[in-house]
């Protein structure tokens, strides 16, 4: 097995090192690092904007570029969180708790230096995990029938909605909205039109490009455009020599790095968790295992290293269920899944055997891209810090311009522009009401495949719902779904029971951190 994996990995390097593939990998990680540094931007919006660009590209360079944007954005996001106390991406919200206090102590460069190394270690472990676990999952997935696939997708939908940020009920509502949008168009089984309201432009359904750009382009920009507060740049003067950690720093970071790697890799194997939950679980576990938990939040290096390692380990590991089973872990993975489908490639058990150039080229590009990111981050830290000063009034109009160009260039159709406007307005209203739209993409991408396999299972069983519990694999997934729903109800009821009464105290907030409380943006503390 090891010999076969090494042979396949060498083949992947031969694909990834082809000049045009290497160029697009570099473009992806560079753009990802750049948007990761910019406050208010992120890989989700950037991938949405650049998705139309992949229409004219071959499948391999397209997925290499989009994947590079994803993990490149996480590298850049750490810079913004540590230096400015601005978590541009939800996984980095917990990094602010100890990263920014380290910056105010004059150790922001050390935090960034150790973070770059820890991120590379976590990503390398996630890549290794992908090499050996994906083929095993494929062998198991080949035994899946329609009932097993249907229940697995149901688990992914439930996990993606109930484990998302905010209320689980709101997450479920957003997933149901995505399922509804995925059902718009012509029914492939009967040929009848569903929810088209007489508009022939909707016969082919809602376009993924319009959905992504509307929810994560227009809506996110509209919700952030009024944030005109100046960014505190007092601590952004970081030089290259400031990033060099001492031997004592590396010794302190070693065990948290290992723990974060393991936690991130385990979280990545659960559909719907994503890097946000991995980072918060890692921080909570590190604080629990520390001999001085009371110091967390005051500038502990362990509080930066452990969640950052878990984030990168989880991001790379999230590709395992996405590529081998076709089950995305979060909204970004759902977009990557949609990008493959646009190219005519269906992720799943057949991907490795039918498209080895895509799978193994992607695996090899991860290592190449992470090496490029280390090279980009360390010597160019001054450049990235300068970019932090870009005002919103310049950032958002330019982003909106690319949104409009991208959606029209996809099919030269103004109806899709109208779709983006409508979906963007809907997404903005949902954000204002506290409904995060990320589960919508998950439901939209998985919905049609869930419906297709549900129908097949019903035809095979002649309408008997017992087919989902008769076979052990599907019964196992149904049990996990019940356990997930039951645990959410239990923790909600327990949380309501344990909640302090109003006026019980006005002291320091509880040190417990919930992944549902990940802030989108933490205001920078004024310079002292």
Q: What residues contact residue 115 under an 8 Å CB cut-off, 6+ apart?
A: 78, 82, 95, 99, 304, 305, 308
Given this model, what pLDDT does residue 52 score? 75
Determine the 3-state secondary structure of 193 from DSSP: strand
DSSP string, 423-478: HHHHHHHHHHTT--SHHHHHHHHHHHHHHHHHHHHHHHTTT-TTHHHHSHHHHHHH
In contact, 64 and 53? CB cutoff 8 Å:
no
Whether the model pTM is above 0.85: no
Separation in Å, CA 82 to CA 37, 89, 98, 107, 420: 11, 12, 8, 10, 34
Given this model, what pLDDT does residue 523 score? 39
Given this model, what pLDDT does residue 250 score? 85
In contact, 76 and 35? CB cutoff 8 Å:
yes
Sign of the alpha-carbon dihedral angle for 43, 44, 46, 47: positive
Eight-state DSSP code of residue 527: P
Separation in Å, CA 94 to CA 49, 72, 284, 339, 517: 27, 19, 10, 30, 10
In contact, 276 and 514? CB cutoff 8 Å:
no
Query: What are 127's two structure tokens?
Result: 């890549």
HEC secondary structure over 70-113: HHHHHHHHHHHHHHHCCCCCHHHCCHHHHHHHHHHCCCHHHHHH
Eight-state DSSP code of residue 52: G
| Rounded-to-integer distance, Cα 15 and Cα 41, Å | 31
Low-confidence ranges of the chain (pLDDT < 70): 1-3, 5, 39-42, 86-90, 141-142, 162-166, 220, 224-242, 270-274, 329-330, 378, 381-382, 385, 388-396, 398-399, 402, 406-412, 495-528
Structural domain spans, the chain: 2-496
Query: What are 162's two structure tokens?
Result: 């109930």
Query: What are 351's two structure tokens?
Result: 């991907």
Given this model, what pLDDT does residue 395 score? 67
Given this model, what pLDDT does residue 173 score? 86
Closest CA to 215 of 426, 39, 1: 426
Given this model, what pLDDT does residue 329 score? 66
């Amino acid at each position: 097995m090891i010999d076969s994996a090494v042979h396949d990995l060498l083949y992947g390097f031969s694909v990834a090192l082809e000049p045009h593939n290497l160029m697009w990998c570099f473009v992806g990680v560079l753009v990802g690092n750049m948007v990761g540094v910019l406050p208010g931007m992120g890989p989700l919006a950037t991938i949405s904007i650049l998705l139309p660009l992949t229409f004219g590209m071959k499948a391999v360079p397209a997925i290499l570029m989009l994947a590079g944007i994803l993990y490149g954005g996480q590298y850049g996001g750490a810079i913004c969180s540590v230096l400015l106390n601005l978590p541009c991406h939800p996984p980095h919200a917990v990094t602010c708790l100890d990263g920014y206090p380290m910056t105010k102590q004059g150790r922001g460069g050390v935090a960034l230096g150790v973070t770059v190394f820890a991120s590379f270690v976590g990503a390398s472990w996630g890549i290794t995990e992908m090499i050996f676990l994906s083929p095993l999952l494929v062998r198991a997935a080949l035994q899946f029938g329609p009932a097993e696939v249907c229940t697995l997708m149901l688990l992914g939908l439930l996990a993606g909605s109930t484990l998302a940020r905010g209320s689980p009920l709101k997450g479920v509502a957003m997933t149901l909205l995505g399922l509804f949008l995925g059902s718009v168009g012509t029914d492939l089984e009967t040929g009848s039109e569903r929810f088209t309201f007489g508009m022939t432009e909707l016969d082919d359904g809602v376009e993924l490009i319009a959905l992504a750009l509307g929810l994560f382009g227009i809506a996110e920009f509209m919700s952030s455009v009024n944030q005109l507060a100046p960014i505190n740049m007092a601590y952004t003067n970081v030089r290259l020599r400031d990033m060099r950690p001492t031997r004592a720093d590396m010794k302190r970071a070693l065990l948290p790095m290992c723990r974060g790697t393991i936690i991130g890799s385990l979280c990545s194997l659960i559909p719907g968790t994503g890097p946000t939950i991995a980072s918060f679980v890692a921080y909570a576990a590190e604080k629990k295992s520390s001999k001085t938990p009371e110091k967390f939040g005051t500038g502990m290096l362990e509080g930066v290293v452990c969640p950052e390692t878990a984030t990168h380990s989880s991001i790379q590991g999230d590709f395992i269920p996405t590529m081998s089973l076709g089950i995305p872990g979060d909204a970004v993975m759902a977009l990557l899944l949609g990008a493959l489908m646009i190219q005519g490639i269906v992720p799943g058990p057949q991907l490795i055997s039918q498209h080895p150039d895509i799978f193994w080229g992607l695996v090899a590009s991860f290592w190449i891209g992470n090496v490029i990111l280390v090279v980009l981050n360390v010597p160019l830290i001054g450049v990235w810090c300068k970019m932090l000063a870009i005002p919103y009034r310049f950032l958002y109009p330019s982003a909106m311009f690319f949104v409009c160009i991208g959606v029209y260039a996809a099919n030269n159709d103004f109806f899709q522009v109208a779709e983006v406007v409508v979906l963007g307005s809907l997404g903005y209203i949902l954000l204002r009401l506290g409904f995060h739209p990320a589960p919508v993409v998950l439901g939209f991408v998985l919905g049609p495949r869930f419906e297709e396999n549900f129908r097949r299972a019903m035809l095979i069983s002649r309408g008997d719902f017992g087919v989902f519990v008769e076979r052990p694999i599907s019964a196992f997934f149904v049990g996990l779904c019940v356990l997930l729903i039951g645990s959410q109800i239990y923790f909600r009821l327990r949380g309501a029971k344990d909640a302090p009464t109003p006026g019980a105290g006005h002291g320091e907030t509880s040190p417990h951190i919930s992944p549902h409380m990940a802030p989108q943006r933490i205001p920078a503390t004024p310079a002292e």
